[in-house]
Amino acid sequence: MAGSPLLEELNERSREVFRRLVEAYLETGEPVGSRTLTRAMTEKVSAATVRNVMQDLELMGLLNAPHVSAGRVPTQTGLRMFVDGFLEVTDLTQDDRAKIDATLSSNSADVGGLMDRVGSALSGITSGASLVLTPKQDEAPISHIEFVPLGTDRAMAVIVFSDGHVENRLFAPPPGQTPSSMREAANFVNAVAEGRSIGELREAIGREIEARRAELDGLAQAMIDAGQALWSDEGDSHERLIVRGRANLIEAGGEPADVERVRQLFDDLE
55-89 as b/e: b if 16+ CB within 10 A = ebbeebebbeeeeeeebbbbbeebbebbeebeeee
Confidence of residue 1 (pLDDT cuts 50, 70, 90): very low
Q: What percent of the chain has pLDDT over 70?
A: 69
Tens of pLDDT, residue by residue over 10-68, are 999 999 999 999 999 988 888 999 999 999 999 999 999 999 999 999 999 999 988 76
Predicted structure pTM score: 0.51
Contact 19, 82 (CB under 8 A): yes
More confident residue, 229 or 207: 207
Question: Please, what's the largest Cα pairwise distance for the chain?
Answer: 85
Segment 251-256 mean pLDDT: 57
The domains found in the chain, sorted by start residue, are: 5-85 (1.10.10.10), 94-134+243-269 (no CATH), 138-230 (3.30.390.60)
Tens of pLDDT, residue by residue over 102-130, are 877 766 556 667 777 888 888 888 777 77
pLDDT at 155: 85
